[in-house]
């Protein structure tokens, strides 16, 4: 009688193959988690920038409607106002942004004829450096994100 000899248990080659397959699957999962987390952080920063921009725009709409603008305020703000989207001044991982506005008085003539009202075009925008979405390298931190809003306001003289 010739019985076939089988060894009980798992061989070393099978264990190493299973380890390699599990390692590759774990690396893929971790890369997906890191990518998803960076995308969520980028969306959080964009949402915060949009909120700051909307608040800034509402502030200047109120100032224009009030009608008590100084000549320097009518010229716009080329230097910008600082705001922190993440963190604060002096913190390690803070993201600083600048808010700008430009105010132009429009002519009394438009596509539909002339008007007796004062009209202004208000443009507001925000810029920030997004260093989290760029891979490390020579261009890291040089990606500038920007959001813009504009509106035309009619000021009624009382």
**What pLDDT score does 89 carry?**
82
**What pLDDT score does 83 carry?**
92
Task: Give the residue extent of every domain in the chain.
Answer: 12-155
Q: What does the alpha-carbon distance between residue 123 and residue 126 come to, in Å, rounded to a whole number?
A: 11
Per-residue three-class SS string for 35-84 = HHHHHHHHHHHHHHHHHHHHHHHHHHHHHHHHCCCCHHHHCCEEEEEEEE
**What pLDDT score does 90 carry?**
81
pTM of the prediction?
0.73
**What pLDDT score does 101 carry?**
93
Residue with tokens 């397959």: 21
- Per-residue pLDDT reduced to its tens digit, 79-102: 889 999 888 888 877 888 999 999
| Stretches in the chain below the pLDDT threshold 50 | none
Tokens of 127: 């810029």
**What pLDDT score does 127 carry?**
93
Distance of alpha carbon 91 from the chain centroid: 19
- Which DSSP string do the residues of 96-157 spell out, in sequence order? EEEEEEEEEEPPSEETTEE-SSEEEEEEEEEEEE--SSSPSSTTTT--EEEEEEEEEEEE--
Considering only CA atoms, which of 78, 60, 158 is closest in space to residue 118?
158
**What pLDDT score does 55 carry?**
95
């Amino acid at each position: 009688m010739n019985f076939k000899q089988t060894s009980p248990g798992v061989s070393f080659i099978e264990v190493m193959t299973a380890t390699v397959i599990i390692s590759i699957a774990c690396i893929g999962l971790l890369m997906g988690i890191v990518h998803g987390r960076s995308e969520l952080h980028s969306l959080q920063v964009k949402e915060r920038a949009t909120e700051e921009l909307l608040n800034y725009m509402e502030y200047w709409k109120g100032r224009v409607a009030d009608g008590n603008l100084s000549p320097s305020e009518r010229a716009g703000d080329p230097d910008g106002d600082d705001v922190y989207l993440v963190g604060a001044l002096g913190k390690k991982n803070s993201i600083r942004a600048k808010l700008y506005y430009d105010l132009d008085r429009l002519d009394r003539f438009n596509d539909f004829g002339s008007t007796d009202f004062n009209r202004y075009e208000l443009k507001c925008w925000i810029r920030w450096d997004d260093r989290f979405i760029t891979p490390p390298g020579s261009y890291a931190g040089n990606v500038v994100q920007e959001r813009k809003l504009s509106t035309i306001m009619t000021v009624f003289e009382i």
